[in-house]
Amino acid sequence: MINPSKIVEGGVEYSLGTFTGTELIYDFSKILTYLEAKGKLLFGKKFRIIDEDHLTWYKLANYFIKDQEKCHKYNIDTDKGILLSGPVGCGKTSMMRLLKHLVPHQRPYEVIPARNIVFGFNLIGYKIIEDYGKSGLFCFDDLGIEPEGKFFGNDCNVMGELLLSRHDLFLNHNLKTHLTTNLNANELEERYGSRVRSRMRQAYNLIAFPKNAKDKRN
């Protein structure tokens, strides 16, 4: 019988909690141990999870394992996507790349830099918005620092248009999208407009690092 509380990485078995036969009871300290080990495999031996970030990890882990009681405490809706906000270098991208490995039984999302989508638009035009906007599970990374799109002389706020398409997927097909950004709510509205910002409130859980979060790249 497969035990869903166990994950094997690099030949080492990690426990995420206790499996009763019908229910998996997660242990956050064990989750952190696994995520740090997986992080070292993905990002190098210097990767570590610092104490100051534990609350952010806690909120996100409970979202991904769908612990409804703990999510309710932090006003997190597991039917919505994640909007992970924080200063440059605080570890947003690493978090979103890591956390999908915590729930291997769930359909994984792909982490795509927003600037890459704009570069694609500049090459092939509106088909890129259609391709990313009609299906699939994605985390659009570094939203807000991408350049403006331009195709045959026509300017386009590519990610703004794509977010509107993804919102339709959320409403009509319960398909979630995740985002990471360095921008705050006002800056997002300035960048993408009130229409997009309004839909973001409906479709995303805002989880934010403290403004003084450390830059892990230093």
pLDDT for res 119 = 96
Superfamily of domain 78-208: P-loop containing nucleotide triphosphate hydrolases (3.40.50.300)
DSSP 155-197: EE-HHHHHHHHHHHHHHHH----EEEES--HHHHHHHH-HHHH
Domain boundaries, the chain: 78-208
Q: What is the pLDDT of residues 26-79, one digit of tens each?
A: 999 999 999 999 999 999 999 999 999 999 999 999 999 999 999 999 999 999
Q: Which residues of the chain have pLDDT under 70?
A: 1-2, 218
Q: pLDDT value at position 216?
A: 77
Q: What is the pLDDT, as a whole number, of residue 102?
A: 95
pLDDT for the residue numbered 215:
79
At 150 the pLDDT is: 92
* Whole-number pLDDT of residue 175: 96
| pTM for this model (two decimals) | 0.94
Can you give the pLDDT at residue 200?
A: 95
**Terminal CA-CA length for the chain:** 45
